[in-house]
Structure 1
């Protein structure tokens, strides 16, 4: 289990840095799009498509570190007010349902990516499958992070002690 948690920390760190990179690309291209449209009166035909695609990738990759750090929307006050075992059970049930959801999203995203492989993005002439691939790839990162959360919870690292700040990704295993 310790080895899996190390791999999970490493994979989640990769997802975080990739999400940041895609977000930076989206911001830079959005600024470029606005500048070309309003300052020069000649909007770029390709930057909006890449901006939107980069945002999609950023979101799907950013969910994994959000799960790992416990920053997803949660009803933590319900879990912590219940007796510890019942609260832990509720947390694990929520994580199992999350795994099921992202497992389905992985499968359907994979099917959709294959289905749209012959279609191209407007103004770019590259396959739209590159955008749809964010669903199955992001889902894999998310499922790894959720499994890591479940393992840490089962080991007793749930909930975080009062006043304990979230750790930097990769520091705690």
Structure 2
């Protein structure tokens, strides 16, 4: 699939498209406000929604690359097998946390379908914005499992983000 996406994952493309949308909408808002003396409130709201979704896709991208925040000094001092065990344990705890967020996010999303909360300026049901919480954590969980499997297959630990690619 990466071959068809230019070597990038779907979440990288979606995150880039959403950030591009944010920049374009806010740029147009600045031009409209200061160049034409007119302001569009829906532009700011839609750009905020796109930014929230882009941030969640950024979380997924970080999880897929095993580049999320962690204290790694003590992990680097362990022997390779113990390092794998500790990283797996940490990821299993992370997956348990994700499961709780997905569970509660799902029920929150369902309740927003039953009792809609409508955006004031765009008139859309905010369930479409809030839906990224359970979806983002579900996508992140898939990537975490993939990283765990890759780690056990290759024996390599986490990527040190201080070292260039």
TM-score interval for Structure 1 and Structure 2 normalised by the shorter chain: 0.7 to 0.9
The aligned residue for residue 123 of structure 1 is 121
Larger CA deviation: 30-39 vs 134-143: 30-39
The aligned residue for residue 92 of structure 1 is 88
The aligned residue for residue 151 of structure 2 is 153
1:19-168 matches, cutoff 5 A: 19-117=15-113, 118-159=116-157
- Change beyond 3 A, Cα 1:160–1:63: closer
- Aligned equivalents of 2:50, 2:158: Cα separation in 1: 33
Return the TM-score normalized by structure 1: 0.80
- Aligned equivalents of 2:163, 2:51: Cα separation in 1: 31
3-state DSSP class of the match of 1:78?
helix
3-state DSSP class of the match of 2:41?
coil
Per chain length, whose mean CA-contact separation is higher, i.e. which structure has more relative contact order (CA < 8 Å, sep 6+)?
1
Q: Could you tell me how far 1:165 is from its partner in structure 2?
A: 6.2
Return the TM-score normalized by structure 2: 0.84
- Cα pair 1:49 1:122 within 8 Å, conserved: no
1:10-21 matches, cutoff 5 A: 13-21=9-17
Larger CA deviation: 74-83 vs 130-139: 74-83
3-state DSSP class of the match of 1:49?
helix
Q: Could you tell me how far 1:161 is from its partner in structure 2?
A: 8.8
